[in-house]
Structure formats: structure tokens, C-alpha cells
Amino acid sequence: MTFAWMGWTLPTALFFGFIALALLTLGILAKLAPNNEPRVGILRVATQRGDRFFLSLLGAAFIHLAWIGLAPKDLSLWFATLASVVYAALVFRFA
């Protein structure tokens, strides 16, 4: 069985590898630091680690889609990835 129909390019494999690694990290954090109390941040909604991770992934998807649609074609998509990492850090800090 070949997976060529899935379009497994290097960026695609890196993306799904990162998601798997991030979920594994969240699982290890849950085991090592089980006190995952909800906290209320700037959104005024109680969020836990998993919620903030989901918000980070959702935001990263929208940042990348906006980048693809609005940025000049000569700018690399890695800038959108950098913006997504900054966004995720802000979500985990303030949300």
C-alpha cells in the first residue's frame, strides 16, 4: 500500500510529526504535572492546557490561510509559522 495519494511532502510530514510530538508532550505534562487547574485569562473563559493548545492550533491554521491568501507570493510560509509560534506563546501565557 502506497501513501502517495496523501501528498506526503516534507512540510506535510513535519506538520503531522509536530502535532504528534505536541500531543505526546501534553500527555507527559499531564502525567508529570497533573494539577491542570483551569485559569481565566484575557478571554474571560476558564481554559486548561488542552484548550489553549487547541486555540493555538486553530489560530495557526487561520494565520497560515490568511498568509497564503493575503501575503505577496515571494514571502516564505515560514514567516507565517513564526507568527503562529508567537501567537501560541501569547495564548499559553495570557489565555
Q: What's the confidence (pLDDT) of residue 7?
A: 72
Please tell me whether residue 38 adopts helix, strand or coil conformation: coil
* Cβ contacts of 18 within 8 Å, gap of 6 or more: none
Please state the domain extents for the chain: 1-35, 39-95
Report the run of H or E that residue 86 belongs to, with start and end: helix 78-94
Calculate ∠ Cα 9-13-14, nearest 5°.
115
Distance CA 55, CA 92 (A): 9
- pLDDT tens for 19-76 read 999 999 999 988 998 888 898 988 888 998 889 999 999 999 999 999 999 999 889 8
* pTM metric for this prediction: 0.77
